[in-house]
Amino acid sequence: MGIPVRTFDAVVVGAGGAGLRAALQLAEADLRVAVLTKVFPTRSHTVAAQGGVAASLGNSEEDHWHWHMYDTVKGSDWLGDQDAIEFMCRKANEVVIELEHFGMPFDRTESGKIYQRPFGGHMSNFGEKPVSRACAAADRTGHAMLHALYQRNVRVHTQFFVEWMALDLIRDAEGAVLGVTAMEMETGEVCIFQSKATLFATGGSGRMYYSSTNAFINTGDGLGMTARAGLPIQDMEFFQFHPTGVYGAGILITEGVRGEGGVLRNASGERFMERYAPNAKDLASRDVVSRAMATEIKEGRGCGPNKDHVLLDLSHLDPKVIMQRLPGIREISMQFAGADPIKEPIPVVPTAHYQMGGIPTNYTGRVVAPRNGNPDAVVPGFYAAGECACASVHGANRLGTNSLLDLLVFGKAAGESVVEDIKALPKSPKDLPKDAADYSLARLARLDGQANGEGVHEVQLALRRAMQDHCGVFRFPDMLKQGVDKIMEVAGRVGRTEIKDKSKVFNTARIEALELDNLVEAAKATMVCAATRQESRGAQAREDFPERDDANWLKHTLWYRDGNRVDFRPVHLKPLTVETIELKKRVY
């Protein structure tokens, strides 16, 4: 075969918050662990998380994990698994205090406790009034978390493989996962990482949208590998959007701009929110504003040659107000839209932010896939945590500050599961199948040998446009139907991408082509599941099915690459110890 094989107890793919937290658990248990990462760990996308991490510490007022659980179930529009949500909310205090002991510089109260602030959707006493539950390190919570976790890993000699890209999962005839193939960017060499446990912490796939807040690295690599290995990915139709990202860039413009008097206008200059929300107008809730923007664009009243965005106009405000109250926004607009909001409007569009779906796991971080009538059958040797995973705690909609909590709790839990499972396994790993690397090598050979193909950037742009136009924040039946055809056509083009530069050493063109192979699987899953789910719930808002439909759709979608097929799994409505939080309409 000639492919080098490196053997470890565990391989973690991804070194953001979830990967680092998991790796720490493994290394502290004296397992031999390899962490593969495309970029240096502290440059992972976790660094962009500002808001904080939720935990019912009750440092400034009374709080309880059960209240946090209620908020999370309600936030999820009842699609979250209640066992996993109970588990996460109960574990929150422990993982946050642990992090404090790792050196995380949390903001503090005068008495020295971790300072907590309120955050949207977090309430006391089962939805009664807002509660201070978010723990933060100024506006750099994710950054501080990554640095604390990275230092801790260095201390226990976690072995990092920086600038390595995992290519494919290796499974045996029984379906167990035996490791991954991976490529070192420096040399272009492919290697097998054989392991008793493979843990994915590869982050989200937000780059599938034309307008996205996600960093370039978020290409859904774990989802692509999982789908190609014949395993399902879950609930991908649920993607969280912000109403106002800078068109063409994705940088967010805070809702505070509309609070200061900024108004949204369409191509004819009309202040269209007056039609959709006559009272609240531009200050209507986030989903109402997003849907109105999407409707204007869909009905041909968008701005620019492609009629694909609207304008956020501040030019009627006193320049002094803009300079004094919104200096950061002016800077962002000039830097990323080339527009000075004192003189001209900012082009904006609903912008993708967070993927609620992902690789289905149970609350211990073990990956599950239906088998022999068991919807929760564990895939031996395979684990996932963080944004790439779907435990599912966010269900149809994530609450702010629950994503950093998710990666801490399930990073640790998945690590603990690996430690426990490995104890029960024989000393030496299972034999690799003879053809373990063949699939990856064939993919690379296809790419190197492709003639008369298309450029990666061209195809990637077509993918992102198709997702933005057909599967955005507000979903129309005709657009979804065309969207499925369109994304399948794009998928065909992804299979024929061509790179001009065939060199082995640090070939970023090849890496981007491989990333696109992953992104397209996540995009297909998102489009197909959005078209399949005939209801509106959480982040899935359909024009033709405006209501939640628990009788027919209180279930997880599972998308399989083979046959582009959708299957379903029941939602776990039974928590671990408390009573089920009964279905209600989600109103705030």
Partner 1 sequence: MSEIDRVRWHCRRGMLELDLVLSRFMDAVYGALAESDRVAFSKLLEYPDNDLWDLVSARAEPEDLDVFEILKQVRAVAPKRAAG
| Residue 451 is a binding residue for partner 1 (CB under 8 A) | no
Task: Return the number of the residue (45 or 486) whose C-beta is nearest partner 1.
Answer: 45
Coil, strand, or helix at residue 529?
Answer: helix
Q: Which of 32, 43, 117, 286 is catalytic?
A: 286
Torsional sign, CA 556, 558, 559, 563: negative
| Residue 145 is a binding residue for partner 1 (CB under 8 A) | no
Task: Return the number of the residue (243 or 347) whose C-beta is nearest partner 1.
Answer: 347
| Residue 38 is a binding residue for partner 1 (CB under 8 A) | yes
Shortest Å distance, C-beta 546 to partner 1: 30
| Residue 436 is a binding residue for partner 1 (CB under 8 A) | no
| Residue 165 is a binding residue for partner 1 (CB under 8 A) | no
| Residue 185 is a binding residue for partner 1 (CB under 8 A) | yes
| Residue 387 is a binding residue for partner 1 (CB under 8 A) | no
**Residue burial 265-277, b: 16+ Cβ < 10 Å; e: rest:** bbbeeeebbeebb
Helices 402-423 and 141-155 cross at an angle (nearest 10°) of: 20
- 286 labelled catalytic: yes
Beta strands in 28-89 (DSSP E): 33-37, 53-54
| Residue 189 is a binding residue for partner 1 (CB under 8 A) | no
| Residue 305 is a binding residue for partner 1 (CB under 8 A) | yes
Draw the binding track, 307-326, toward partner 1 (x: CB under 8 A; -: no contact).
-x------------------
Shortest Å distance, C-beta 346 to partner 1: 11
Find the part of the chain contacting partner 1 (CB under 8 A) among 38-46, 79-87, 119-127, 254-262. Answer: 38-46
Parallel, antiparallel, or unpaired: how do β-strands 159-162 and 33-37 relate? parallel
Shortest Å distance, C-beta 280 to partner 1: 29
Cβ neighbours for 331, distance < 8 A, ≥ 6 positions apart: none
- From first CA to last CA, the distance across the chain in angstroms is 60
| Residue 248 is a binding residue for partner 1 (CB under 8 A) | yes
Per the structure block, which two tokens stand in for 551? 């009788």
| Residue 254 is a binding residue for partner 1 (CB under 8 A) | no
Shortest Å distance, C-beta 411 to partner 1: 17
Shortest Å distance, C-beta 311 to partner 1: 12
**What whole-number distance in Å separates Cα of residue 303 and Cα of residue 345?**
11
Draw the binding track, 207-226, toward partner 1 (x: CB under 8 A; -: no contact).
-----xxxxxx---------
| Degrees, nearest 5: CA angle 574-75-544 | 105
Q: Return the residues of window 550-569 that contact partner 1 according to CB under 8 A.
A: none
Draw the binding track, 488-527, toward partner 1 (x: CB under 8 A; -: no contact).
-------------x-x-xxxx--x----------------
**Most distant CA pair in the chain: distance in Å?**
72
Please report which helix (H) or strand (E) contains residue 256, including its range.
helix 256-259
Please report which helix (H) or strand (E) contains residue 5, including its range.
strand 5-13
Q: Tokens 């912490």 — which residue?
A: 201
Q: Provide DSSP, 375-417.
A: TT-EEEEEEE-STTEE-SSSTTSPPTTHHHHHHHHHHHHHHHH
**Interacting residue ranges for partner 1, rule: CB under 8 A:** 16, 38-39, 42-48, 140, 142-143, 146-147, 163, 185, 212-217, 247-251, 304-306, 308, 331, 334-338, 347, 501, 503, 505-508, 511
* Residue positions annotated with a catalytic role: 286
